[in-house]
Structure 1
Amino acid sequence: MRTIKKLSFSLNENLKTSLLLWAQQFDEVVWMDSNNYSQKHATYQAILAVDAFTAIKTDAHNAFDKLKDYQHSTADWIFGYMTYDLKNDVEKLNSNNFDGLGFPDLYYFQPKKIFLFTENSVEMHYLNMVADEIDNDFRTISEINQHPEEPVHQKNIKISIRTSKDNYLQKVEEVLEHIKRGDIYEVNICQEFYAEDAEINPLEAFIQLNRISKPPFSVFLKLNNIFALSASPERYLKKTGTTVISQPIKGTAKRLKNKKKDIEMAQQLAKDPKERSENIMITDLVRNDLSRIAEKGSVSVEELCAIYTFEQVHQMISTVTCSVSQNTSSVEILRNTFPMGSMTGAPKISAMQIIEETEDAKRGLYSGAIGYFTPTGDFDFNVVIRSILYNSSTKYVSFSVGGAITINSVPEKEYEECLLKAKAMREVLHTIL
């Protein structure tokens, strides 16, 4: 039973920092922030969930069945993540590449305390607690806001690249051979940047990354020794009632300081035949995935190849929607569409097999999803890209970047796009290559 209290309220940057500072006393924290980015399908401006009452973590074996049982038994809000490697539970696939992070494949928790922020209010949902505790917590948070702590700044970290440039270029050439043979049409190939024996301040790193990027699907996740600091611009999947939407990203162009040239860059991206081809192929894949669980004839493309502008880059995004039966399980919707098509390729299974053969590191949480379920079975998940992942026990820090390879790909340009996507993470970590 949850105690619920609602207040008229406006969320500002100082209070966001205070909430995050207050949350660090708990072992389990999820902070999700839209950064006031204007988006048609937003429900909340921000969400904070802390302190596990119950939790589930498991490897990929039968992971979706275990999640389904957990969601059904709690019948409550649950927050957490699914790694990319849950693909092995969906299809007959495996993950044998090097894993430096060692995160569980799936990890969710039922929080004792939840804060749901909309534009003009906050709703606090406390589990098995009295209203006085809500008032006391909110007073404490407000006092932190009046006396913010000095941030602890990052030390320089020496980052290594698991795949050398020459090796990456060779891998792209090999993938192009697969495309020429007709094995696949498109595949997302990624590479890992990492540091061992690295000590970072996860909260300070997240605040800096979020300040640089201001994305609509930003997440700070702390699960004991596991941290994800995500500046994701991409939604994987959202369910509201019987409506499901997916918003795959394919197509990237850099921002320019000159306003006129920056607008021209976005217009150039909108017309680029290679970028449009990438996006349309993945949009078609997402349509196919959704058709498995959709009401007949309900899958539609709301937006095709629309241009969205973020702090670091312009992106090409499509929006695909469908209707589902009220009897369709939320977890079954995820199972039938996971992993996100933008991070795999087409055809999906062949692309995932080639990814495993080509890449040098296990993806883990990278290109997986972080999000939540509501008590009624609605959900919202991002795609874990533009994210720093950290295991504080092993002192291993990692971020990965990638891009779609199609028949028209030029290996050197694909490598340059990877470096563009890595820029914000490298800047936050003050990296030395």
Structure 2
Amino acid sequence: MEHHLIKKDQPDYGWHGWKHQYPLAGEEKEAEAMKILKNVSTHCYMLESAQADEKWGRYTFLGYDPKMEITCMDGEMNAGGVRFRTDDPSGYLRQILADHKSPRFEYLPSFTGGLVGYFSYDYLGYSEPAVRTEAEDTEAFKDVDLMLFDKVIAFDHFRQKIILIANMRLGEETEGALETEYNRAVMELKQMRDLLRTGEKKEEPGGHLTGEITPLFDREAFCSMVEKAKHHIREGDIFQIVLSNRLAAPFEGSLLNTYRVLRTINPSPYMFYFSGTDVEVAGASPETLVRLEDSVLHTFPLAGTRPRGKTDEEDMELERELLKDEKELAEHNMLVDLGRNDLGKISRFGTVQVEKFHSIERFSHVMHIGSTVRGEIRDGCDALDAVEAVLPAGTLSGAPKIRACQLIGELENNKRGIYGGAIGYIDFTGNMDTCIAIRIAYKKRYC
């Protein structure tokens, strides 16, 4: 057992991680561990990445039994059962993160505890009231739904270890109170270890459709929306717009096994499963919304698509064709400019730059044109400001973004909910990693 403690004469960091580690064993160990966690907690998550590099693909993170769930819907905040009205959910979230502020330690994984969950597409309405809509809300998604986790299970794929992390509070406590908190953290680590070793798995039905898949809009209605959108483009009202059409079907069982299949057939930079009060979500997203690490911001626009070739030669030919396609390049360049503008809202003057331009990013079934936009976050801004600056991504809305979002609300006349929003974490150190909520399946428990 490895213990790490900040001495009391050091700055008051609020929270600090401890860890215990032991070797991995068995296939699909993360998904099997999730079955154990689901047996003791209805609220849990798994975050992982198929990127084959030591920095971003190294860890799979799991969590269960959050300290609280924090939601906001139509201005009504619910923080662990305490309800109040607000026009600014980020203010309360910022307070929660400040109360749990922690330093970053290089010997610990990149995520050691924080807020995990989603910001919906409709969260934009808090920072941009002009896009608020009275559209139909059949799915009843929260505008934001985040769970506060102060213990983390991290699967280290490079070192073949499981790292267990519990956070303990450091403040002005007496030595006796500090020792009590220390012992609590040690006991929690032992309980986590024993749970993974001997806990019973929750065996759930594999999940299957019990009826037909139906779109929100039939072909005629969707084509009518497209024609109206094209009219706005011709009139110069917008340059591009991204319309959507939700597919729904009756479903029985859990999405965990669906996720296990998805992560196998469509490995992606962002793969996630989580279960909350009223929703279960599984997804494999290729695209970062916004990432903040040590005061450096990144966003990674993906736009321009071709299928993967059946041979290496066909794959290269499709790549050359994609990079010569004027329409795809124009769309991509517009979204790169939008990404620069979004980061520019919260970055230090002169720091926003395009680090990588027109690279080809290959995935299991498709290839995309990708670029990387970087900025250094301005003093006084934080991860929550970054979410508000970038959400929703231009690749899921259009340009100019605010006008495109207004038209989406008018044309679709349905709240999008989690689709096109952000999924990921904001940690106790102030860092953040979020992806765009696309290529997802969700199961609503109550709506």
Q: Return the TM-score normalized by structure 1.
A: 0.83
Describe the shift of the 1:18–1:108 C-alpha distance in structure 2 as closer, same or farther (beyond 3 A). same
Per-residue CA distance 1:161-197 (angstroms, 9 max, x = gap): 111123222221221111111001111111111124x
Q: Is the 8 A contact 1:60 1:106 kept in 2?
A: no
Q: Quote the residue 1:31 is aligned against.
A: 46
Cα distance change on mapping 1:178 and 1:350 into 2, 3 Å: same
SS across alignment from 2:252: coil
1:89 to 105, 108, 126: 126
Partner of residue 67 from structure 1, selected from 78, 88, 93: 93
Counterpart among 29, 49, 52 of residue 66 in structure 2: 52
Q: Contact 2:284 / 2:440 at 8 angstroms: preserved in 1?
A: yes
Q: Which residue of 2 aligns with 1:134?
A: 189
> Would you say the 8 A contact 2:66–2:148 is kept in 1?
yes
Shift of 1:78: 1.6
Match of 2:240 in 1: 186
Residue 104 of structure 2: aligned partner:
none
**1:388 match: secondary structure:** strand
Q: Deviations over 1:247-306 (max 9, x none)?
A: 122122222434432332233223322111111101101101111111111001111221
Structure 2 counterpart of 1:42: 56
Unpaired runs of at least 5, structure 2: 1-14, 76-87, 102-112, 169-183
Unaligned runs of 5+ in 1: 395-433
The answer (yes or no) to whether the contact 1:18–1:141 under 8 Å persists in 2 is no
- Indicate the residue corresponding to 1:114 in structure 2: 152
**CA shift at 1:140, angstroms?**
4.1
Contact between 1:236 and 1:247, CA under 8 Å: does it hold in 2? yes
On the 8 A contact 1:60/1:85 being kept in 2, the answer is no
Deviation at 1:359, TM superposition (A): 1.5
Check conservation: 2:36, 2:202, Cα contact below 8 A.
Answer: no
Counterparts in 2 of 1:386-425, with a 5 A limit?
A: 386-394=439-447
Deviations along 1:337-372, whole A, 9 cap, x unmatched? 222222111111111011111125321011100111
Q: Which structure has the higher relative contact order (CA within 8 Å, separation 6+)?
A: 1
* Alpha-carbon spacing, 1:356–1:22, altered in 2? closer, same or farther (3 Å): same
Q: Choose from 249, 267, 273 the match for 1:195.
A: 249
1:378 aligns with 2:404: no
After superposition, residues 420-431 of structure 1 pair within 5 angstroms as none
Quick one: percent identity of the two aligned structures? 25
The count of aligned residue pairs is 391
Find the counterpart in structure 2 of residue 249 from structure 1: 302
Letter in 2 for 1:188: V
Q: 2:165 aligns with which of 107, 116, 125?
A: 125
Structure 1 Cα separation of the partners of residues 211 and 316 of structure 2: 35
Residue 173 of structure 1 aligns to which amino acid in structure 2? Answer: E
For the Cα contact (< 8 Å) 2:62–2:154, is it kept in 1?
A: yes
Tell me, yes or no, if the aligned pair for 1:18 and 1:144 is still in contact at 8 Å: no
Q: Structure 1 95/207 Cα, relative in aligned 2: closer, same or farther at 3 Å?
A: farther
User: Deviation digits for residues 53-83 of structure 1, max 9, x if unmatched?
Assistant: 1231112532222322332234362212100
**2: CA distance, partners of 1:151 / 1:303:** 44
Q: What is aligned with 1:175?
A: 229
Instruction: Please give the alpha-carbon distance, in whole angstroms, between the structure 2 residues aligned to 1:52 and 1:31.
Output: 13
Aligned to 2:263: 210
Q: Is the contact made by 2:303 and 2:370 (CA closer than 8 Å) also made in structure 1? A: yes
- Give 1 or 2 for the bigger CA radius of gyration: 2
**Partner SS for 1:189:** coil
Deviation at 1:321, TM superposition (A): 0.4
